[in-house]
Amino acid sequence: MADVIQRTDEELVEDYLDGDVGAFRLLIERYHDPLLNFLFRLVGNRQAAEDVFQDAFLQVHQSLGSFDLTRTFKPWLFTIAANKGRDALRKSQRRAAVSLSMRPKDSQGDELVDLLQIDVPGPELRLEAEETSALVQNAVDAITPRLREILLLAYFQKLSYTQIADQLGIPVGTVKSRLHAAVAAFAKRWQEQVDAQKRLNQREQRP
């Protein structure tokens, strides 16, 4: 078991290409939770996320023979999944409400970062937490799909600028500018909602 844990993604890919069918299953198990959570935040629906997850790994299986073993598997996998997620959004003809739950390295203030630490809401959560989650989702939903994808890859999956640029086929400078635009758009929408909520609370507290 220890040997399995120590095997890198790239080693598992190579083992699978050499005929070890179980290696592919290990890759699926290794990325089940993080990739499914990523897709939930991207498409905003658990069932849709599960469908996209299956489509993504089907694409991985079909394309693995052309994978460059000198590259890193994770960015390649998440780029495929993001592409499948965009296709699902277009087919459903709606924009997804998503939430984030990782602290970005290049944050623009701890308050904003803390607000982004909202996971998938469960029935056991208090109403206040659900309301906060809804506000976060509304703010992220206001971001265009192109910016949302950059935000999720960089902040949630912590891919580097270079990895994102390489996988999306865009310059590093474009990745940075889109990420900054996404954070700024989120912050603007979030502040608008916070201010509106404060005004509502003040009116309710008046005698």
Contacts of residue 106, Cβ cutoff 8 Å, sequence gap at least 6: 179
The pLDDT assigned to 71 comes to: 87
Taking phi over 0 as left and psi of -120 to 50 as alpha, with beta for the rest, 158 belongs to: left
Note if the pTM is more than 0.85.
no
pLDDT per residue as tens digits for the range 106-144: 433 333 444 444 343 343 334 355 676 677 777 777 888
Average pLDDT of the chain is 76
Number of Cβ atoms within 10 Å of the Cβ of 69: 10
- Phi, psi (5° rounding) for residue 67? -70, 135
In this structure, which topology does domain 1-96 adopt according to CATH? Answer: Rna Polymerase Sigma Factor; Chain: A (1.10.1740)
Domain boundaries, the chain: 1-96, 100-207
Interval 50-78 mean pLDDT? 90
Q: Which residues of 190-204 are buried (b: 16+ CB within 10 A; e: fewer)?
A: beebeeeeeeeeeee
Residue type present at position 72:
T
The pLDDT assigned to 11 comes to: 92
pLDDT per residue as tens digits for the range 136-170: 777 777 888 888 888 878 876 778 888 888 878 88
Decide yes or no: CATH 1.10.10.10 for domain 100-207.
yes
